[in-house]
Amino acid sequence: MHDFRHRYAGSSMGALWNVMHPLAMIAIYAIVFTSIMSPRLPGTDSRFGYIIYLCSGIIPWTAFADCVSRGCSSLVLNASYLKKLPIPEPVFVAQEAVAAFVTAMISFVILFVFGLCVGMKPATTWLLVPLPVIALLALGFAIGMLLSTINVFFRDVQQWVGIVLQILMWTAPVVYVVDILPPQLQAVLKFHPLVPPLLAIRELFVYATWPPAWQWIAMLAWPAAFGVAALAVTNALASASSMISTEIPFSRSIV
């Protein structure tokens, strides 16, 4: 929570920016997609349907991207603490995931209120929206831990992350509807790590339906797989580091 409270330290509004940013985003989308453009979400006649759909994808994606990008650089940025204090490396990546989750939940509360204001009917499935968000950020934490470890040894990783995230956004249904894709591509998307939680969020909030079993299984499997990969890479690089210098452990060798 330290990162969440101090992300806007020094600004006059402080933590209120965590509310202002999603509020401004929703307001801008509402103006653009109702006054300038008028796209319609398939299966609904509401002029605000696509806005709700778009924001329910942008919010979790932004949280995920923030978790990965900040997590990637967390070990390097906190090198002074790692050298002086016996703090486990995952703590610094985990705090980025927690901060991203809190910010995402604030954004979703604002989106829920907006939805009610434009005529959406509240559903009990809304209460389950935090579950796929947690699964998505658990994936972000695992990927962030993997990348942060590699970034200690290869600093170009941090620079590539921003580029890859921009590309990755368009490989998942963040701004577009899955139904517009060819059936073959829809089948392939089921194996995309980001697709199950994104679809689950839309189904719980936008369509008020229960996600199928395969989505819940995938939401557990992908973070676990990346977590195992992160652990294996961390151990491998730690062993390589110890072979180079037996006097400085991995977590204290960050410069």
Split into its structural domains, the chain has a count of: 1
Nearest of 52, 69, 220 to residue 134 by alpha carbon: 220
Residue whose tokens read 């319609």: 40
Nearest of 18, 21, 71 to residue 9 by alpha carbon: 18
Q: Are the beta carbons of 43 and 202 closer than 8 angstroms?
A: no
Question: pTM of the entire structure?
Answer: 0.83
Q: What is the pLDDT of residue 247?
A: 37
Q: Distance between CA 183 and CA 179 in Å, rounded?
A: 8
Dump pLDDT digits (tens) for 103-150.
Answer: 999 999 999 999 998 889 999 999 999 999 999 999 999 999 999 988
Dump pLDDT digits (tens) for 5-31.
Answer: 555 555 555 556 566 666 677 677 666
Q: What angle do CA 233, 100, 111 make, to 5 degrees?
A: 140
Tell me the residue range of the domain where 59 lies. Answer: 2-252
pLDDT band at 244; cut points 50, 70, 90: very low
Q: What is the pLDDT of residue 85?
A: 75
Identify residue 150 by its one-letter amino acid code.
Answer: I
Tokens representing residue 212 in the block:
């199928």
Cα→Cα distances 64→14, 95, 117, 179, 239, Å: 22, 13, 27, 23, 30
Which of 105-119, 178-192, 208-222, 234-248 is the most confident on average? 208-222
Q: How far does Cα 97 stand from its chain's mean position?
A: 8
Q: Distance between CA 98 and CA 105 in Å, rounded?
A: 11
pLDDT > 50? residue 195: yes
Nearest of 183, 175, 213 to residue 60 by alpha carbon: 175
Q: What is the mean pLDDT of the chain?
A: 82
Dump pLDDT digits (tens) for 64-108.
Answer: 999 999 999 888 888 877 777 777 888 889 999 999 999 999 999
